[in-house]
Structure 1
Amino acid sequence: MKNLISTSFLIAITLLGFLSACKQKERLQTPRRVTENSTTYLIQDSVLIPMKDGAKIHAIVVRNAKIDEPTPAVLFHTIYARKNDLEKAKMAADHGYVGVVSYTRGKGLSPDSIVPYKHEASDTYEIIDWISKQEWSNQKVGMYGGSYVGYTQWASLKHKVHPALKTIVPSVSAAPGIAEPMENGVFMNFHYPWHHYVSNNKYLDTTLYFNGQRWRDLNMEWYEKGVAYNAMDSLDGLPNPQFNERLLHPTIDAYWQRMIPYKADFAHINIPVLATTGYYDGGQIGTQYYLREHTKYNTNAEHYLVIGPYTHFGAQAKPDTHIFGYDIDPVAQIDITELIFDWFGYILKGKPKPDLLQDKINYQVMGANKWGHAPSLENMASDTLVYYLNNQRSEVAFASLFGSGNNGKDVHYSLSEEPVNLNGYLEQTIDYSDRSNLTWNSSGWRNIVSDSLMVGNGFSLVTKPFDSDFELNGSFGGEISVTINKKDFDYNVLLFEQTPEGKFFALALPYVGRASYVLDGENRQLLIPNKKIKLPFGIVRMTSKKISKGSRLVVVVNGIKAPFTEINYGTGKNVSEETIKDAKEPLVIKWYGESYLEIPVKRD
């Protein structure tokens, strides 16, 4: 009898648990009606979507109550969980779709651990599958969003395309292992606080992340003390295991390849893609990677690009009319959010294609107040200007900040259309043990349009004035020929237009590269000290601008030693393990005259 009572008690408890779970499921799944501005929404903001491995994904679903037939869905899958994400789902509903916002596992109401990147390929695919099986779905899904959200769209295509997924619209897409946390092999400091931002709680740790002074102080303390890059969290006093885990993978190895479509993975991606980015977008590297690889491995890829003078955030929504001292042309002032929903109308509802998309590549020509259109990146230009590094001083002088080469003296050199002296060189010395001036070696720009040029301890080289107008369209290429006295170094290359009025116009963000990864991103190839090597450029940000008659092009080259990126001391060890004790003798770079740049141009 005792056993029978115990068994009955267990059955009763199990039944109560089952009924409680059913009520919980019903509570989570039953939509509530909310009316705002004469529109009634059916809102489910506490949905937990089960994954095959037992994890649960928090999702928000919003429908327009007037639509009582199966409808296409628009999905926004993000790690940036915010309390106001309901508005994104409502926006999709306002455009006649079922709006779905879902979060990376562990975020929002998900009970799981927060793990950026690693599960997105499978989780995003399963979310699409869940959407396709809902009674309100017509088995058509489109995805959109920028940065990490752009990445999750590509991740969903890693293994195969879900039959219900009809298009993706990735803006300023992250490409882990390719464009972050390193760029052409160089790790960037601004990724350090990002892991705290997204992983410290179920939403976002805005208090810590937006404490800019804290991170600036950390960068400067790390730089001044010269401790190892992988010891930054010890210096900070706050563990950052995800940051350190990524430092263990400086090459594009299997760790990164599992997260994104890689090489032949692109061959099966046969749905239309619309990508957006900007000339001044840090995420342009990722957008370019996906575009180039998609069209390389799938020659029939229907992949559209819209690019203009936009920043990382401007290229996701509505660009600012004034950025970094530059007033963008009126025709560039488009509403990218509306463009995205016009695209959804074209793909998901059979409406006309957006007028702007006159060809696969749609680019705004800065200074010309017009859009250009081309069938491919290569077809943006009709000619190529080739310039060689020349160690002869230029006949032109212009203002600079912190000097230019030659121990800070105001000296400038020429870019020649023909090689002048292949074995001639400009010699630069960088003492990694000297931290007396925190920014002495910085090259870059603070504003797109400036009165002066920041060259640091590098070299500036200038062309002769042009005798007619032309468009500079695309990414510069070429190769750098150098010798160094160590096994590796990091460097940057910047491109400017010097206008007839003497202004300097930054044509794109700087190119940053690590010499040992340029030839093969999967396998590090150390340099042989004092042996000449030719280094082709990796992914270079593209741009488009009308170059006026009387203008010159100015190139700045420099080795990197600054508080904002990993410091490569050149020993050949894992760079994140090197310290200021590894600096030893100064780095000596010889930039040879056989170095050249290829500038893509289009003439009327």
Structure 2
Amino acid sequence: MKTILQLLIFLFITSCDTENKNVSTSRIDENYLIQDVLITTQDGAKVSAIVVRNNKEEIPKPVILQSTIYVRDKGRDLKSLKESVDRGYVGVITYARGKYLSPDEIWPYENDANDTYDVIDWISKQRWCDGRIGMFGGSYNGFTQWASLKKPHPALKTIVPYVANRPGMGLPMENNVFINSNYEWAFYVGNNKHLDTIVGTDRQKFRNSMFTWWETGIAYHKRDSLDSLPNKWFQKWIKHPDFDEYWQKMAPYKEDFAKIDIPILSIDGYYNDSQNSGLYYLSEHYNYNPAAEHYLIIGPYDHLGAQRKGSKEISGYRVDPDALIDTNEITYEWFDYIFNNAKRPEKLKDKINYQVMGANKWKSASTLDSMSNNSFKFYLTNHKTNHFYSLSEKKPSENNFLYQEVDFANREIWNNDYYPGQIIRDYVDTGSGFNFISEPFENSIEVNGSFSGELKVSINKKDFDYGVTLYEMLPDGKLFHLSYIVGRASYAKDITKRELLTSNKIETIPFSNTHLVSKKIRKGSRLLVYVNVNKNPFSELNYGTGKAVRNETIKDAGQPLTVKWYCNSFVVIPIWKD
């Protein structure tokens, strides 16, 4: 039972708050004062927030802010906010415009940069805030932290983004190829004020419609007609296949990164689907601000694992015991380091801190590039033994090529088995594409970093989508998935502008936006590179006509795509040699 003193304190606090006119409800729960708040943005919209603070203390404190589109059950959100209070802070969570108590329309990504700035500005003026704000969280919550830095607010002192999304670069498209797994997510977050856990998570329904789209060959932009559920978000996204101003304005872009001078801790995973989003922020931050205080922790985690404590097993791979970390604990160690002059988290030995799979150890480096001290440059040869072609460190003396033919009208055959659904598997895909393999290693090495390369190709059409996947082939013949890229050839040189290929001309397709990894390659193992045309139900299908891909249909398939993969194509694999 609440005491009379508690009630008097509650009445005093709520009567003195400068934000009181925005408070919709207030209540005391044990030692916590909990308030639902509607914050008015500069353009007149309303953003819904929950504020939790200690109802027995009046001293202004640093505020720990979470900003998300996921309106989960309030018990879970309140637990997180109360933890911030228990650790000596004020806890605030805000939901994207249109969510929870906000009366506005829901458009993921589009308003978060301005809205989060306005939220930070409002918080900084409250009597319970000491003028210092930190942010943390993962996925969409990671994106909003970066979005807030499109125009940095002086009150924001640090962010801790986990597996941060970068709209237009990782989702809903990856290297300008739209990925189908993002389709139903729009319903999940956009259908109501909370989360549509019925329609938005009906995986079977959307999987069926995806296969119907694939089998019938209708235009990609008509995908939602198969569900009888108009998807206005999807329709808007697919009209922007370029990384154009629509995407650029959602988060820092180019010179925007030069203005970011707060300390940052990023956390990511080798098997996080959107890893190239999170590492884009890191790379661009250092590119435009070499003196940035930006740390990274990365290891064998998927999208969820990096936001929690990892997992003892991920997609069939039993991780090293040393890889298991407590993301939440490290986050609050970081906040204490920033706000309370505590020591820096022990895991941060240097700017880049990564777990070496198979070695049960962590290593640190000052930059992403210094994760490696050497590299292999392998050419894709036409020398074949059994099912595999050779990877050679010697550049071919002749301009030989491997020939591939892909019939887009044929829905029986899929190309490009690239996704690490199982990290360790027993089979090699020899049904399509080409596998190139190195000689066995006489000593163990580490593959550390992101592989890159150039594909030299000649095609009979104007465009195609490609995939390159990197594996370790273990001595017993099993494959260990290391990294991959899926991309569109016409955007290989500039993701902001499509440049069609010239039919039957040898073209150079550079690639570098592959997933970063660290793995000990044991003695007797080989490296295997798998190259293929991307043709399957799991992403948009590029028929190669040069028209907007979203409008192409099976009627545009025409003659099969022919590809000449030239043997002066190469991959560069960063390694560490002791």
Moved more, 441-450 or 384-393: 441-450
Alpha-carbon contact 2:310-2:325 (below 8 Å) kept: yes
Q: Which amino acid aligns with 1:100?
A: V
Alpha-carbon contact 1:384-1:598 (below 8 Å) kept: yes
Match of 2:422 among 435, 447, 455: 447
Counterpart for residue 227 of structure 1: 218
The normalised TM-score by structure 1 is 0.90
- 1:66 deviates by 4.3
Counterpart for residue 466 of structure 1: 441
CA-based RMSD: 1.5
Match of 1:556 among 530, 540, 543: 530
CA distance 1:539–1:425, change in 2 (3 Å): same
Q: Do residues 343 (structure 1) and 338 (structure 2) align?
A: no
Q: Do residues 361 (structure 1) and 335 (structure 2) align?
A: no
- 1:68 deviates by 2.9
CA distance 1:526–1:599, change in 2 (3 Å): same
Per-residue Cα deviation, 1:506-527 (whole angstroms, up to 9, x for no partner): 113x310100001011110000
Counterpart for residue 363 of structure 2: 372
SS at match of 1:567: coil
Alpha-carbon contact 1:443-1:558 (below 8 Å) kept: no
SS at match of 1:206: coil
Counterpart for residue 127 of structure 1: 119
Match of 2:289 among 273, 298, 307: 298
- 1:83 deviates by 2.2
Per-residue Cα deviation, 1:469-519 (whole angstroms, up to 9, x for no partner): 1111000011111111100000111111011122211113x3101000010
- 1:444 deviates by 4.2
Match of 2:201 among 172, 185, 210: 210
Alpha-carbon distance in 1 for matches of 2:402, 2:141:
44
Counterpart for residue 7 of structure 1: none
Q: Which amino acid aligns with 1:188?
A: I
Match of 1:570 among 517, 520, 544: 544
Q: Which amino acid aligns with 1:414?
A: S
Identity, in percent, stands at 51
Q: Which amino acid aligns with 1:423?
A: N
Alpha-carbon contact 2:22-2:37 (below 8 Å) kept: no
CA distance 1:489–1:27, change in 2 (3 Å): closer
* Higher-Rg member (1/2): 1
SS at match of 1:145: strand
- 1:373 deviates by 0.3
Counterpart for residue 90 of structure 1: 82
Q: Which amino acid aligns with 1:87?
A: K
Alpha-carbon distance in 1 for matches of 2:390, 2:467:
18
Match of 1:430 among 397, 406, 410: 406
Aligned residue runs from structure 1 range 416-427, under 5 A: 416-427=392-403
Alpha-carbon contact 1:133-1:139 (below 8 Å) kept: yes
Q: Which amino acid aligns with 2:577?
A: R
Alpha-carbon contact 1:145-1:169 (below 8 Å) kept: yes
Alpha-carbon distance in 2 for matches of 1:525, 1:491:
15
User: Please, which runs of 5 or more residues in structure 1 have no aligned partner?
Assistant: 1-21, 398-410
- 1:454 deviates by 2.9
Counterpart for residue 137 of structure 2: 145
Q: Which amino acid aligns with 1:535?
A: I
Alpha-carbon distance in 1 for matches of 2:200, 2:520:
39
CA distance 1:25–1:72, change in 2 (3 Å): closer
Counterpart for residue 5 of structure 2: none
Counterpart for residue 325 of structure 2: 334
Alpha-carbon distance in 2 for matches of 1:450, 1:63:
50
Counterpart for residue 451 of structure 2: 476
SS at match of 2:198: helix
Match of 1:102 among 84, 91, 94: 94
Q: Do residues 516 (structure 1) and 490 (structure 2) align?
A: yes
The normalised TM-score by structure 2 is 0.94
SS at match of 1:429: strand
Q: Do residues 493 (structure 1) and 465 (structure 2) align?
A: no
Number of residue pairs matched?
A: 559
CA distance 1:30–1:436, change in 2 (3 Å): closer
SS at match of 1:453: coil
- 1:421 deviates by 4.5
Q: Do residues 76 (structure 1) and 51 (structure 2) align?
A: no
User: Please, which runs of 5 or more residues in structure 2 have no aligned partner?
Assistant: 1-16
SS at match of 2:441: coil
Alpha-carbon distance in 2 for matches of 1:599, 1:95:
44
CA distance 1:298–1:199, change in 2 (3 Å): same
CA distance 1:556–1:336, change in 2 (3 Å): same
- 1:383 deviates by 0.4
- 1:95 deviates by 1.7
Aligned residue runs from structure 1 range 177-192, under 5 A: 177-192=168-183
SS at match of 1:356: coil
Q: Do residues 415 (structure 1) and 391 (structure 2) align?
A: yes
Alpha-carbon distance in 2 for matches of 1:256, 1:183:
13
Aligned residue runs from structure 1 range 163-178, under 5 A: 163-178=154-169
Alpha-carbon contact 1:184-1:512 (below 8 Å) kept: yes
- 1:63 deviates by 1.1
Alpha-carbon contact 1:444-1:454 (below 8 Å) kept: no
Alpha-carbon contact 1:443-1:456 (below 8 Å) kept: no
Q: Do residues 60 (structure 1) and 67 (structure 2) align?
A: no
